[in-house]
Amino acid sequence: MNAVTVGTGPLCATEIVAVARDGAPVALAPEAEAEIARSRAVIDALADDADAHYGVSTGFGALATRHIPARLRAGLQQSVVRSHAAGSGPEVEREVVRALMLLRLATLATGRTGIRPETARAYAALISAGITPIVPEYGSLGCSGDLAPLACCALALTGEGEVRDACGTRRPAAEALAAAGIEPVVLREKEGLALINGTDGMLGMLVLACHDLHRLLRTADLAAAMSVEALLGTDAVFAADLQALRPHPGQADAAANLRVLLADSAIMASHRTPDCTRVQDAYSLRCAPQVHGAARDTLAHAEQVAARELAGAIDNPVVTRDGRVESNGNFHGAPLGFVLDFLAIAVADIASIAERRTDRFLDVARSHGLPAFLADDPGVDSGHMIAQYTQAAIVSELKRLAVPASVDSIPSSAMQEDHVSMGWAAARKLRRGVDGLTRVLGIELLTAARGLDLRHPLAPAPATGAVVAGLRARAGGPGPDRHLAPEIEAAVDYVSSGAALAAAESVTGPLR
């Protein structure tokens, strides 16, 4: 696999995904090494300075008033890493740890942290070797950045703590480093702080969530199209001129997707007759572009914030381009926490409207001729009755996860850090939300596909028909009750892998 080169400029989302999920190695660009060396020279010049410089010759946080003598300054850096690696709880996912390590390396590569070139190289080697430090779930307040998670990674770099090696085996960091031929780093002035003071965890999770939501929002359009079609709804409301009366870009894209997905549907054509008495569909069908579009616009805003953060150099203090060492507040996670919470709201609402569409299939009063609960023999069979229960349970959970974390500041460090972002917590709950949305859409797709099958001999649109055909290779069609959980998981995998979307786009071309 090609290495991702980390230079002085921002990484892009595809590079972050390649390292985090696909295990791509990394390499420092020559200009990054040169910039790192230049800023390190500034720190070296201050190493024996009698004046106080935060992070070089002082303690940290509320202990910043303590002046540290020169002979203790290197040991201070190891101490801060050990003390700050104070998390608790289950392990954070490998992809999250790799993302946050990559993003910390990207900040080191800007040359604004004062770290030594050999330390940055060792950090890159740790990532490339597939060594993943054990990072517990709890410990970050999102200010000063993600201290505890990043400290776990810095601890591993020094040969302490525990990691998982490239094979996933949990082992002492010293063993894993030795096996990979990486010499543990002995930290020098400023380096411990430079390794732990950033927003990299919450930013990494934001980038990964945005990447997934691009696929899931198009899949939501697909599932909605299948539901509209199988419930004998109308596509007239998705007309471009109607949508243009409310010119939100996300809404326009969602409506355009619905139009192409439903094109040439014999089912839709079957009820476009003068004697059709239905004036308009329920909101969950008719307003799909408006709700899905609002989520798209929220995603676009979140990606703007992520792009700005990726272009940043987050540390405290920083080495400025003219050689000053200055304290700052750029580590505060508020910009990320806000959009992480905003996305959790959008995720919950997309899942909520999908569940409402699914529920319409199961009620004979609203399904327009389909059997109760899509059952083969209603009463003897329950069909998809409990699949909707599962959706409802997930949607209820997603609503709870939509409660903002970023407003819940808890002061710390003897009131020195008296307003924190809780951005890490916002990111953790968004990850759970993205997983829940994937499951809700899988169930809607499974139910809508059964509804389309039950409209036989009328044929669905070519695009939705291709999706049903792909699903049928994984899960059976209408018939007597059978163990439903494996079919739900098959549908969820069909969504999460991108295969459902690929099946539709094999007909429509790329959706918006």
Q: Which of left, alpha, beta for 111 (phi over 0: left; psi -120 to 50: alpha)?
A: left
Residue 97 to residue 95: CA distance in whole angstroms:
6
> Which H, E and C letters describe 170-185, residue by residue?
EEEHHHHHHHHCCCCC
| Closest alpha carbon to 11 in 185, 208, 228 | 208
Burial class (CB in 10 A: 0-12, 13-18, 19+), 241: exposed
Burial class (CB in 10 A: 0-12, 13-18, 19+), 264: middle
Residue 203 to residue 102: CA distance in whole angstroms:
11
Chain-centroid distance of CA 76 in Å reads 35
Contact 81, 154 (CB under 8 A): yes
Q: Can you tell me whether residue 67 is helix, strand or coil? A: strand
Cβ atoms < 10 Å from Cβ of 134: 20
Contact 155, 85 (CB under 8 A): yes
Catalytic residue among 54, 138, 283, 494: 54
Cβ atoms < 10 Å from Cβ of 502: 14
| Closest alpha carbon to 7 in 107, 80, 152 | 107
Is 54 annotated in the active site? yes
Helix boundaries (H) for 262-413: 266-270, 283-286, 288-310, 334-362, 385-401
Cβ atoms < 10 Å from Cβ of 160: 17
Contact 27, 5 (CB under 8 A): yes
Burial class (CB in 10 A: 0-12, 13-18, 19+), 127: buried
Beta strands 325-326 and 170-172: pairing type?
unpaired
Contact 400, 348 (CB under 8 A): no
Residue 249 to residue 211: CA distance in whole angstroms:
19
Q: Can you tell me whether residue 478 is helix, strand or coil? A: coil
Residue 153 to residue 351: CA distance in whole angstroms:
35
Residue 410 to residue 390: CA distance in whole angstroms:
35
Residue 369, token pair as written in the block: 């001729």
Give catalytic residues, as residue numbers: 54
